[in-house]
Amino acid sequence: MTKLSVNINKIATLRNARGGNIPDLQRAVVECQSFGADGITVHPRPDERHIRYSDVMDIKGIITTEFNIEGYPGPEFIKLVKTARPHQVTLVPDPPDAITSNAGWNIAENVTFLKEVIEDLQSVGIRVSVFVDTGIENIRDVAKTGADRIELYTEPYATGYPVDREKAVQPFVKAAMAARECGLGVNAGHDLNLENLSYLKENIPWLKEVSIGHALIADALYYGLEKTIHLYKDCLK
């Protein structure tokens, strides 16, 4: 089964809106796991507008599933993840002021940089995934960096799904096939939800992991966190 990693950034955003510790991020981590999440994802940014660097250290000891940290591999981020030692780091090309991830890496322009970062992280036992769009040659270039996996940036799929889901999914199927041919594992994330997740899984059955935050936390307002996690897990069966 494809693993569901719950991104808890939006829980931290809600906490930060009022200060204090409501909602309790550590409690959220424990409950997400007890309700069936296969992993926890965070994406700390330099301005700490949602997940703080201190949060990463606070929750790392209570994660009993898999821990995935996303981010741009600047010096402070690299220092953080080498200290926290998550199971996986997902490298994204976000500038510091990005509202959310909105594009994958241009690998050819960054291959030397990424290769050095990936070697550094793998040397301490961290699996590395690289956030990419569906360009086939770009994905083949990922293999040159030594990365373990790619994470497909799925916003274009989510946008196209209501109009023509077959057309929307085809570039992602082709990209996932290219990655598999190169020996790369395939993750996916961004704007996946209860409407479009099952169809993506149906067409790319070898997906290893999806990372979902915004839609899942929004759905939890209506259904409750436990039921919501079960609904997303059902989409991945």
What is the residue-wise DSSP string for 158-198? HHHTTT-HHHHHHHHHHHHHHHHHTT-EEEEESS--TTTHH
Q: Cα(first)–Cα(last) distance of the chain, in Å? A: 6
Name the catalytic one among 43, 50, 151, 209. 43
**50 catalytically annotated:** no
Q: Report how far residue 175's alpha carbon sits from residue 233's, in angstroms, rounded to the nearest whole number.
A: 24
Neighbours of 24 (CB within 10 A): 13
Residue of 66, 70, 151, 209 marked active site: 70
Among candidate residues 50, 66, 151, 190, the one labeled active-site is 190
181 as an active site residue: the answer is: no
Per-residue DSSP letter, 114? H
Which two structure tokens, joined as six digits, stand for 142? 């990922």
190 is catalytic: yes
> Which residues does the annotation mark as catalytic?
43, 70, 190
